Amino acid sequence: MPVKLGIVGVGKIARDQHLPVIAASGDFELVAAASRHAQVDGVRNFTSLAEMLDAAPEVEAVSLCTPPVGRADDARRALARGVHVLLEKPPTATLSEAHELVAAAEAAQVTLYASWHSRFAPAVPAARSWLRDRAVRGARITWMEDVRVWHPGQDWIFAPGGLGVFDPGINALSIVTHILPQPFALRAARLAFPANRQGPIAAELSFQDVLGAPIAAELDFLHTGVQRWDIEVETDGGRLTLSKGGTEMAIDGEVQPVVPGAGRPHAEYEPLYAHFAALIAAGRSDVDLTPLRHVADAFMLGERVAAPAFDF
């Protein structure tokens, strides 16, 4: 029988990805939605998760697609009811909240899944496999997009806890922490904050892996024209390039085959929900906080520089 699922937060990412994938899934049945400003046709709708859990005890799992600030409260509430929880990225607003949720899930013996959708991009598994036995000499992340296109009017992104440019940048970090064979740590960072905002709009990051290989990242939330989501890795066996957010892969400029389905609109979220279903069936959790830890390190270690005021 499919798991009876509720979705919390019916914004752009929920409508673009979660709802279509859930509708097509044989693992889940959407039975309820909770949102302050929107509804989902064909299911019971509520204004909060608390209201949903009280009125719809049949809900066995929830997908939390709200902004990260406040998400931990909903997750804690669901776990206490014995309900499995999927967290959109980033999983929580702070590392402390995430660790508390891990303990709560263990105590309740239910599944907690901190999802990183970019790790399911079509070329990422092939990149991880190719890099597994190679020595990395260096890597570079170039993640440049236009916030007005991808997050129009979403002021919460630049509020405390919204992460600013790290909202997309954490997708890149979720990929590189997954594909590189050695762990790495931040050595320096430069974060540009608009005069009227609390979140950075651009960032330059310098990491080093445990064997000394440098990893640089350039993140820009004001990039117009062709959007760039690229990762280049220099190794003793050639240069690997992931482009278009992990959709395409090349070795020394030669395009490589990737998993079937590249280019489908839901190519990342279909396997993400399949993994959530497998975790529930196995009674396990999956909470990798490494990408969030790197972002926290950037805020702790980064030099803060002024940027012009920003408005949508």
Per-residue pLDDT reduced to its tens digit, 84-138: 999 999 999 999 999 999 999 999 999 999 999 999 999 999 999 999 999 999 9
Does residue 113 contact residue 27 with C-beta atoms inside 8 Å?
A: no
Indicate if the pLDDT at residue 247 is higher than 80: yes
Q: What is the dihedral of CA 306, 209, 96, 166, to 10 degrees?
A: 40
Q: What are the pLDDT digits (tens) for 201-219?
A: 999 999 999 999 999 999 9
pLDDT per position as a tens digit, 2-56: 999 999 999 999 999 999 999 999 999 999 999 999 999 999 999 999 999 999 9
* CB-CB contact of 111 with 63 (8 Å): no
| Separation between Cα atoms, residue 292 and residue 77, nearest integer Å | 22
Q: CATH 3.30.360.10 in the chain: give the residue spans.
A: 118-260+295-307
**Per-residue pLDDT, 262:** 61
* pLDDT for the residue 96: 97
Q: How many helices (H) and strands (E) does the chain have?
A: 10, 15
pLDDT at residue 249 is higher than 80: yes
DSSP secondary structure letter of residue 120 = G
Distances (CA, A) of 192 to 169, 185, 304, 310: 14, 21, 6, 11
Indicate which residues carry an active-site annotation.
89
Chain centre distance of CA 167: 8
* Banded pLDDT at 261 (limits 50, 70, 90): low
pLDDT the model gives residue 265: 78
Q: For 120, phi and psi rounded to 5 degrees?
A: -100, 10
Tokens of 158: 């630049």
Return the pLDDT at 239. Answer: 98
Burial of 226 (0-12, 13-18, 19+ CB in 10 A): exposed
Structure tokens given for 113 = 């899944």
Residue ranges, CATH 3.40.50.720, the chain: 3-114
Confidence of residue 263 (pLDDT cuts 50, 70, 90): low
CA distance 282 to 293: 27
Residue 79's identity, in one-letter code, is L
Q: And the tokens for 299?
A: 């805020």
Tell me what pLDDT residue 264 has.
77
- Percent of the chain scored above 90 by pLDDT? 96
Give 258's pLDDT tier (boundaries 50, 70, 90). Answer: confident
For residue 228 the two structure tokens come to 């760039």
Contact 62, 85 (CB under 8 A): yes
Tokens representing 306?
């002024």
Q: Residue 38 contacts by C-beta under 8 Å, 6 or more apart in sequence?
A: 10, 11
Helix (H, G, I), strand (E, B) or coil at 168: helix
Average pLDDT over all residues of the chain? 96
Bond into 122 cis (ω within 30): no
Cβ atoms of 88 and 63 closer than 8 Å: yes
Cβ atoms of 184 and 206 closer than 8 Å = no
Report pLDDT digits (tens) over 218-229: 999 999 999 999
CATH classification (class only), 118-260+295-307: alpha beta
Token pair for 295: 């972002």
The pLDDT tens digits of the residues spanning 55-77 come to 999 999 999 999 999 999 999 99
pLDDT in tens, 166-203: 999 999 999 999 999 999 999 999 999 999 999 999 99
Residues 6+ apart with CB under 8 A from 28: 2, 3, 4, 5, 22, 61, 273, 277
CATH number of 3-114: 3.40.50.720
The per-residue pLDDT for 14 is: 96
pLDDT of residue 71: 96
